[in-house]
Amino acid sequence: MKDTSRDLFPGALEMMVLRTVAMQPLHGYALAQHIQRTSNDLLAVEEGSLYPALQRMLKARLLKAEWRVSSTGRRVRVYEITPEGRDHLHREVSRFERMLEGIRLVLGPVDPATR
């Protein structure tokens, strides 16, 4: 089934990108590979969709970017998280967890007797 690769909810991609670059600065391709790998290929992100998201976060100053030469000798643009980015990530993650908690309560096993 293709269920595993359904669309992400809004903001999910941003959160994953911030989380990833919070650990270490990465360029676009490496970032895509990392998300793919760590999600066990469950989230089939269309790689291209990463770029508009990166631009949005650059514009919002959650990230900063710098052209460097990679270990393989490529000219790459490396993204790094800013202090605002960290705050944002923190807020988003806790909001996400609260939301998840809510969803779990609704979806959780229901005792027919309580109804």
Partner 1 sequence: MKLPWRRTHDEEIAEEIRQHLQEAVDDLVARGMPRRDAEASARRQFGNVALIEERSREVWRWTLASDLAADVRYALRQFRRAPAFAAAAVATLAIGIGATTAIFSVADAALFNPLPFPHPDRLVTLNEIVPLIADRPIRLPAPDLIDYESRSRVFDAVGGWTPRTFELSGDRESERVQAARATSSLFDVLGIRPALGRTFTAAEDRDAVAICVISDGLWRRWFGADAAVLGRTIHLDRQPYRVIGVMPRDFAYPLRGTDSDAPTDLWVPMSFTPNERNARADNWDYNGVARMKAGVTVAQATADVDAIAQNIVRDLSPDGDHGQRFTFTAIARPLAPQISGRVRPLVLALSGAVACLLLIACVNVANLLLARGAHRRREMAVRAALGAGRGRLLRQLMTEALLLSLMSAGIGAVLAWWTTSAIAGILPSRFALLANAHVNTTALGFAIGLSLCTAVVAGIIPGLAGASAGRAASLNVRADAGSIALRRLRSALVVVEIALALVLLVGAGLLVRTFQDLLQTSAGFEPENAVAASVSLPPSQYATAQSERQLYRQLVERLHGGGIEVAGIGSTLPLSGRRSERVFWPDEYVAPPGAGYNIAGLSAVSPEYLQAIGATLRSGRLFTPQDDASGAPVAIVSASLARQYWPGRDAVGRRVKWGGRDGTRDWMQVVGVIADLKQDSLDSPGAIQIFVPVDQLEHSMEASESGAFTAGQLRAMYVVVRGHVSEAAMIARLRDTVRSLDGSLAVAGLAPLTDTVAASAAPQRFNMVLMGSFAAMALVLAIVGLYGLISYSVAQRAREIGVRMAMGAAAGTVTRMVVKEGLALAAMGTLIGAAAAAALAPALRALLYGVQPVDAATFGVVIAVLLTVAAAASYVPARRATAIDPASALRSE
Three-state secondary-structure class, residue 84: helix
- C-alpha closest to that of 16 among 53, 60, 59, 68: 53
Q: How many residues bind partner 1 (CB under 8 A)?
A: 19
Residues 63-82 interacting with partner 1 (rule: CB under 8 A): 72, 74-77
Q: In what order do the strands lie in the sheet with 63-69?
A: 26-27, 75-81, 63-69
- Please pick, from the candidates 4, 5, 24, 29, the single residue that binds partner 1 as defined by CB under 8 A: 29
Q: Which stretch binds partner 1 (CB under 8 A): 7-15, 17-25, 26-34, 101-109?
A: 26-34
Q: Tokens in use for 28?
A: 């676009």
Using rule CB under 8 A, residue 38 touches partner 1: no
- CB closer to partner 1, 32 vs 81: 32
Sign of the Cα pseudo-torsion (83, 85, 89, 91, in order): positive
> What residue ranges bind partner 1 (CB under 8 A)?
27-29, 32, 46-49, 51-52, 54-56, 59, 72, 74-77
